[in-house]
Amino acid sequence: MRRWQVGGALIRRDGGLLLVANRRRDRSVDWTPPGGVIDPGETVTEGLVREVREETGLEVHTLVRCAYRVEVEAPDLDWILHVEAWEVEAAGDVCIADPDGIVEHCRCVPFAEVPELLTASPAWIQVPIGHWLGLVPAAPADGAVTRSPEGSNESSHVSPSFRFRLYGTDRRSTRVERIG
């Protein structure tokens, strides 16, 4: 079973959430927070800072807190994905320099419009962000502290965790199930 770690950045900017448009191998486009695969030898936060710089041109100056964690099991594809999404503060001018050539666009999306823009994204993107926005309740046992993205940061915050299982091998016909 192949495993990899991804870091994602939740960046509040201009009254919304910064999202990037990703062109996938099948030529489809989906929107996600900036982030990507953590390279060997990097910590999650080091890789997240690098990915934000590459995908947006912004420099992360503060890691506020881990907002949530996600695990996706894909038994038919023989992989497990681990994601840590961090609220971060970043500054600078947007300039896409993605060496992977996946990110095509970057924009600040008003919080109320984020769920609609994420409809083409996988459930493991939509559900945790919906929870972070206060739109999707977390399971009672996950220890989450629910708040809106405009709210203050609590020092006692416990990062919620989400688990999903992906069935199938073709992106157009896979089925995703939330398992935790």
> Of the given ranges (32-46, 84-98, 126-140), which has the lowest mean pLDDT?
126-140
Q: For the ranges 68-72, 97-101, 141-145, 155-159, which has the lowest average pLDDT?
A: 141-145
Look at residue 149 in the predicted model and tell me its pLDDT. Answer: 43
- The pLDDT value given to residue 145: 40
Domain 2-178, architecture per CATH: Alpha-Beta Complex (3.90)
Q: Which of 1-15, 123-137, 141-155 is predicted least confidently?
A: 141-155
Report pLDDT digits (tens) over 61-108: 999 999 999 999 999 999 999 999 999 999 999 999 888 889 999 999
Long-range contacts of 143-151 (CB under 8 A, 24+ apart): 149/10, 149/12, 149/17, 149/111, 150/12, 150/111
Q: Where are the domains of the chain?
A: 2-178
- pLDDT grade, residue 157 (50/70/90)? low
Location of structure tokens 């992360």 = 60
Angstrom CA distances, 36 to 14, 152, 172, stand at 23, 27, 22
pLDDT at 13 over 80: yes
The two three-digit tokens of residue 121, written as one number = 């994204």
pLDDT for the residue 24: 84
| Neighbouring residues of 43: CB distance < 8 A, sequence distance ≥ 6 | none
Burial of 63 (0-12, 13-18, 19+ CB in 10 A): middle
Task: Return the biggest CA–CA distance within the chain.
Answer: 42
Is residue 153 pLDDT above 80, yes or no? Answer: no
DSSP 60: E
Which parts of 14-115 are beta strand (E)?
16-23, 29-32, 35-37, 59-74, 79-91, 103-110
Write down the pLDDT at residue 155: 43
Give the gyration radius of the chain's Cα atoms.
Answer: 15
DSSP class of residue 140 equals G
pLDDT at 138 (0 to 100): 60
